[in-house]
Amino acid sequence: MTPPISPPSAAKVKTPTPMIAQYMQVKEAHPDALLFYRMGDFYEMFFEDAEIGAAVLGITLTKRGKSDGDDIPMCGVPVHAVDGYLARLIGAGHRVAICEQAEDPEQQKARGGKGPLRREVIRILTPGTLTEDDLLPARSHNYLAAVGQSGGALALAWADMSTGDFAVQDIAPERLESLLAMLMPAELVVPSGHEVPEILGTIGTLGTCMTEQAPSLFDSAAGQRSLCSYYRVASLDGYGQFSRPMLAAA
- Note the pLDDT of residue 109: 81
Nearest to 38 by CA among 115, 98, 91, 90: 98
- Note the pLDDT of residue 137: 61
Global confidence as pTM: 0.64
How far is it, in rounded angstroms, from Cα 39 to Cα 117?
Answer: 10
Q: What top-level class would CATH report for the domain 10-125?
A: alpha beta
- Note the pLDDT of residue 173: 80
- Note the pLDDT of residue 74: 94
- Note the pLDDT of residue 118: 87
**Strand locations in 86-244, DSSP E?**
96-101, 119-125, 143-150, 153-160, 165-171, 187-191, 209-213
pLDDT means over runs of 10, the chain (250 residues): 50 71 92 93 95 94 80 92 89 90 81 82 84 62 84 86 84 83 84 63 66 84 87 84 87
- Note the pLDDT of residue 70: 79
CATH value of 143-249 in 3.30.420.110, 3.40.250.10, 3.30.70.270, 3.40.190.120 = 3.30.420.110
Beta-sheet strand order (sheet of 165-171): 165-171, 153-160, 143-150, 187-191, 209-213
- Note the pLDDT of residue 218: 87
Residues facing 34 on adjacent strands: 96
Q: What is the pLDDT of residues 128-148, one digit of tens each?
A: 777 666 666 656 677 889 888
Domain boundaries, the chain: 10-125, 143-249
First to last CA, the chain: 20
- Note the pLDDT of residue 13: 56
- Note the pLDDT of residue 210: 80
Orientation of helix 47-57 relative to helix 82-91, angle to 10°: 90
